[in-house]
Amino acid sequence: MYDAIVLGSGPGGYVCALKMAKLGMKVVVVEKGEIGGTCTNRGCIPMKALLSVADLYHAVTSKASRFGIAVENVSHTPRLFDHMRRSVLTSRKGIEYLLKKNGVDVKRGEGILEDAGRVRVVNDGEEVVEAKNLIVATGSQPVLFPPFDSVDGIWTSDDYFKDPVLPASVLIVGGGVIGVEFSTFFSTFGVNVVLVEMMERILPSEDEDISAVIHGKLKKNGVKIFTSSKVTKLEKRERGYKVWVESEGMEKEIEIERVLLAVGRKPSLPVGIEKLGLRMNGGLGTDSTMRTDVEGVYAIGDVRGKIMLAHVAMKEGVVAAHNVAGHTVEMDYTAVPMVVFSQPEIAVVGLRERDADGKVEIKVSKFPVSANGRATTLQEREGFAKIVADKEGKILGVAIVAHGATEMIMEGVMAVKYGLKVEQLESLIHPHPTMCEVVHGAVEGIMGEALHI
């Protein structure tokens, strides 16, 4: 008998399994698809690999001449997807190696729950595995709804990465993180992109100034954006689709080659989950130790239906592992970073300016990327760093819209996590010239001492 069965090998599942193995437990992972789950195979890794290609292409086509480099006849080929496939394979093989290295058994097949301690693994044959504990880490799947669920060939992010191509045109439904990243990728390579968002602006979960920068950049790249709009009808034609979009009280007809639905994800529940009688709360309900209300059963990652981010799933996996081992560890969601690999990148942690909404007295300071020396040398002029602090100067939130923002946000994560004061960040010597100086500039602004604007 195993100490624990982990259902699913995505970021939460494989990290949880590795941590339990390192804590001396005998662990088995059950996976019906590819090792690594959605993030490795159909999400984070392939998307960021393609966006890395797009970044290089954008740099060559838009910056080379300004840097005095003559580049002629720049083009792209279908081989740009080879980098994506290599990245996915390398990541997947890396996870497989780690599981093997740490003595974690892997059973390939669909895990069907018999009870809280038994899982039937169905592949070519059947095998029942038993354990004292069960960790459900079965992830999520794209949401598909009318009218899109009744028309053949509609892409979701899962579908796209199975056989990626560059269409002549694409209509993307949903202006959140997934929709913005796909719009960034496609438009960089000259695809005619139409982006439809039901809310009044793209990236509606973030502050308006963040949305405005990305809206402007996408528009500059040729993306046609419809906000406060929705698709009411679509028909598959011999070549592509005819789509009806309701916008500004009018209905517009759009001819498009492909349609990609990017409006979020929902928990993927394992077969037999109803036998356990678990509490549901938009997904599997847990407490802060990742325990469900059934003894010995834990849930981590997207299957909880809460914060659907790979790095959150990983941390929840570590927390669950400790508690399975008999330790008492709770999950802390105080400082969860959110990142978007747009152009420029976005990274946010803690309180958003708009969410203060009079509930707490705040001070806000922004420092423009255009005033940063390193940004000038990189020819990256768009964006800003923003600090949100309380009246005593405690840092409540940090937002960065800039080249390299996803790498810079950890300074903000530490500040929010540990309740640092602006004086503490201001006292740090930031290397020059670097992009992270925009954060220092925003901190100076909170103190009323901004030197470079």
Give the residue numbers annotated as catalytic, written as ranges.
432
Quote the longest CA-to-CA distance of the chain: 69
SS3 449: coil
Report the distance separating Cα 295 and Cα 181, nearest Å: 40
Asked whether 300 and 322 are in contact (CB, 8 A), the reply is no
Q: Which residues contact 230 (CB under 8 A, 6 or more apart)?
A: 196, 198, 245, 246
64-68, 436-440, 442-446, range with the lowest pLDDT: 64-68
Which ranges in 70-163 belong to alpha helices (H)? Answer: 80-101, 157-162
CA 305 to chain centre: 14
Q: How far apart are CA 442 and CA 365, in angstroms?
A: 5
Looking at every residue in the chain, the average pLDDT score rounds to 96
pLDDT at 358 over 80: no
| DSSP label of 53 | H
- Residue 360 pLDDT level (bands cut at 50, 70, 90): confident
**Sheet containing strand 224-226, strands side by side:** 224-226, 192-196, 169-173, 258-261
The predicted pLDDT at position 264 comes to: 86
Domains of the chain: residue spans and CATH: 2-140+266-324 (3.50.50.60), 148-263 (3.50.50.60), 338-446 (3.30.390.30)
What confidence tier does 359 reach under pLDDT thresholds 50, 70, 90? Answer: confident
**Over the stretch 307-326, which tens digit does the pLDDT of each residue have?**
999 999 999 999 999 999 99
**Token output for 127:** 């095998």
Q: How confident is the model at residue 385 (pLDDT cuts 50, 70, 90)?
A: very high
> Quick one: pLDDT at residue 281?
85
385, β-bridge pairs:
367, 400
Whole-number percent of the chain with pLDDT over 70: 100
DSSP designation for 421? B
Beta strands in 282-432 (DSSP E): 297-299, 338-340, 345-350, 362-368, 384-390, 395-402
| Alpha helix ranges (H) inside 116-190 | 157-162, 177-188
- For the segment 170-193, the average pLDDT, to the nearest whole number, is 97
Q: What is the model's pTM?
A: 0.95
Lowest mean pLDDT among 64-78, 162-176, 302-316, 324-338: 64-78
For residue 139, pLDDT over 90 is answered with yes
Tens-digit pLDDT profile for residues 5-53 = 999 999 999 999 999 999 999 999 999 999 999 999 999 999 999 999 9
- pLDDT score of 357: 78
pLDDT in tens, 98-130: 999 999 999 999 999 999 999 999 998 899 999
Identify the burial level of 189 via C-beta atoms within 10 angstroms of its C-beta, where 0-12 means exposed, 13-18 middle and 19 or more buried: middle
Q: 93 pLDDT band (50/70/90 cuts)?
A: very high
Q: What local confidence, expressed as pLDDT, does residue 386 receive?
A: 98
Q: Residue 14 corresponds to which tokens in the numbers above?
A: 């494989």
Query: Confidence class of residue 363 from pLDDT cuts 50, 70 and 90?
Result: very high
Q: E strand or H helix at 46, and its extent?
A: helix 44-63
- Tens digit of pLDDT for each residue in 208-267? 999 999 999 999 999 999 999 999 999 999 899 999 999 988 999 999 999 999 998 999
- For 294, other C-beta atoms within 10 Å of its C-beta total 16
DSSP run (H or E) holding 413: helix 410-417
Query: What's the chain's Rg over C-alpha atoms?
Result: 23
Query: Crossing angle, helix 80-101 and helix 44-63, to 10 degrees?
Result: 140
Coil, strand or helix: which one is 343? coil
